[in-house]
Amino acid sequence: MSNIDSVKTGAALLRTLKVLTYLAGFPLLLFAAYQSVGKIGGYAVTAGAAATGFKVLAAGFAAVAAVQIIVGLTLKKRGFLTRAFIVAVAAFGAVFAPLIYTETVVRADFDALRAQYAEEGYDFAPYEKQVSDYAERAAGRDAAFNGFMSRYNLSGLDGSTRGGNLDATPTVAPSDKNAPFLKGFEDFSHYIFGAEAGSAVYSINGLYADSYVFGYNQAKYILETYYATRDAYAEKGLDADIELQAALDALDADGSVWKRYQQTVEYLRAYGDGYVDPDATVTIGGKEYNLKKLRADNYYLTVDEVKDMVDKLFAELGQNRAMADLVALINGAVGILGIDLPEGVTDILNDYNNLDYDALMSAIAGLNIEIGGKPLNEETLLGYISEYSFYQSPSSYPKMFFIDDAALRDYAYAKYLATKHGAVVGSVLLGQSVGLVSLDNLSGAAPMSAAQLERLFKKIEIENSYMPKYYPWLAIRGDVLKLGGIVPVAIFIAYALAYAENKKLDKLIAGRGGAKKSI
């Protein structure tokens, strides 16, 4: 190998080493920090917030690069040591400033917040502990949140709607000043349930829109309202449900505000018998509606419809060959077993091909069966049907709107939304089966207790108050501690290697008799 070749190889080796050393500095730190940031991007700390500390580091890198260029241009004549020193100092500052910020400002803030919650009686792990296990904590917080969300089948933080209202009346946001909300009635000014708890989608009567699925904020507000009111009544030795029923019963009195409201056009167009003119229209929120479309009974099974269905069913069964066999079998069995059937039942058996709704109801009542403490009769059966088939018109006030006591009214709304509205949209919040209750999932999910809910809400509130704020800094802290020290050193060595490489190249050029080249 000639001398020139060996110099060339040496220069190439030095150049490679220079690049590798440089990469082992800031770029490696940024790469590591990027990986750490990826570990906390989720619900607790959103991906955008998680990158705060990383962005500061990256900006530092850009600043150091700028310093490098400026130094290279202005201090050309000085030795490489001067230039290397200045750039290394800049790199030191860019790396350790965020660390110092984290260790002083962030830490002091964190400790103050922790002390504040400690005064309220809530404790969370100290800074020293969280600096090492923040990623697990963020994941744990997300898991707890997701568990709650899937148990109650909720939709995001503020819920979502799938197409608004069944009767096509407008959906509105409380923040919209021009929203065509109803105007209240007599002394009852318009009321929007939970307007302050996040941004839900409403109907003009102040209830959530028909297809609105609660988000975290709304579910929390409903459950907190429900349990807080119950507790408040319990402290006075009262039962909120009994009080609520009493308040609703009082509204049935002649001349009550509810009775007066039931005479208004607003109510009658949804529920009144007199409003059947199919051509009549009404304008709501600038849109014209056919009155027929606004009628609530379009959207639930009326007693007449149930009657027709049952009559039709018996008409079909009456003509069925197997019915005669069945009746014969029962009559035979009753004789052999010596059972006394109630009169209603014998009537049905003997006259099965003339059976209809009314006959069935009187026979059922004659059985004297009790279900869940209630006698099984027409009223209970229709009650069961209306559990699942009902419709609250979105364009008129519900009865509970007229409850005088504000706390009790909130309670009524919360209970209605948690059970009835929740059952429609698949997010039941109260009862033995919560979340999605459907025909093939009748048992839904198991509910959380009031105490569990309170703990969870508080935990999420506390964690929300510090995780998004501090975790982005903790995420880069560990990497800066581990790799930060290398950065100025790596830059310094890279400069030294560049210097050595230039020396070799100079030798090469001198050997060829060329002009001296400065790099």
Binding site for another protein (CB under 8 A): 153, 162-166, 210-211, 213, 298-299, 301, 305, 308-309, 311-313, 315-317, 319-323, 325-326, 329-330, 333-334, 337, 339, 367-369, 388-390, 423-426, 436-440, 442
Write down the least CB distance from residue 342 to another protein, Å. Answer: 10
Residue 98 or residue 164: which is nearer to another protein going by CB? 164
Least distance from C-beta 444 to another protein, angstroms?
10
Count of beta carbons in the 10 Å neighbourhood of residue 46: 12
Enumerate the β-bridge partners of residue 290. 281
3-state DSSP assignment of residue 418: helix
Assign 354 to helix, strand or coil: helix
Contact 167, 395 (CB under 8 A): yes
Q: How far out from the chain centre does Cα 312 lie?
A: 45
Least distance to another protein from the beta carbon of 421, Å?
10
CB of 26 to another protein, least distance (A): 30
Query: From CA 300, how far away is CA 20, in angstroms rounded?
Result: 74
8 A C-beta contact, residue 34 and residue 47:
no
Q: Which of residues 429 and 497 has its CB atom nearest to another protein in the complex?
A: 429
Containing 213, the helix (H) or strand (E) segment is strand 212-213
Q: Which is nearer to another protein, 212 or 233 (CB)?
A: 212
* Least gap, CB of 414 to another protein (angstroms): 19
Query: Rounded to the nearest whole angstrom, what is the least distance from the CB of residue 149 to another protein in the complex?
Result: 14
Which residue number, 104 or 350, has a Cβ lying nearer to another protein?
A: 350
Q: Minimum Å distance from CB 340 to another protein? A: 8
Using the minimum distance from each CB to another protein, give the nearer residue, 426 or 478: 426
Shortest Å, Cβ 201 to another protein: 12
Measuring CA to CA, which residue among 217, 153, 211, 193 is closest to residue 415? 193
**Max Cα distance, the chain (Å):** 129
Distance CA 390, CA 300 (A): 5
As a whole number of angstroms, the distance between CA 502 and CA 115 comes to: 59
Report the 3 state secondary structure along 275-329. Answer: CCCCCCEEEECCEEEEHHHHCHHHHCCCHHHHHHHHHHHHHHHHCCHHHHHHHHH
Query: Measured from the CB atom, is 230 or 415 closer to another protein?
Result: 415
Q: CB neighbours of 495 closer than 8 A, spacing ≥ 6?
A: 80, 83, 84, 87, 88
Question: By C-beta, is 207 or 436 nearer to another protein?
Answer: 436
Closer to another protein by CB, 101 or 299: give it: 299
Q: Which own/partner pairs from 328-333 qualify as long-range (CB within 8 Å, at least 24 positions apart)? A: none
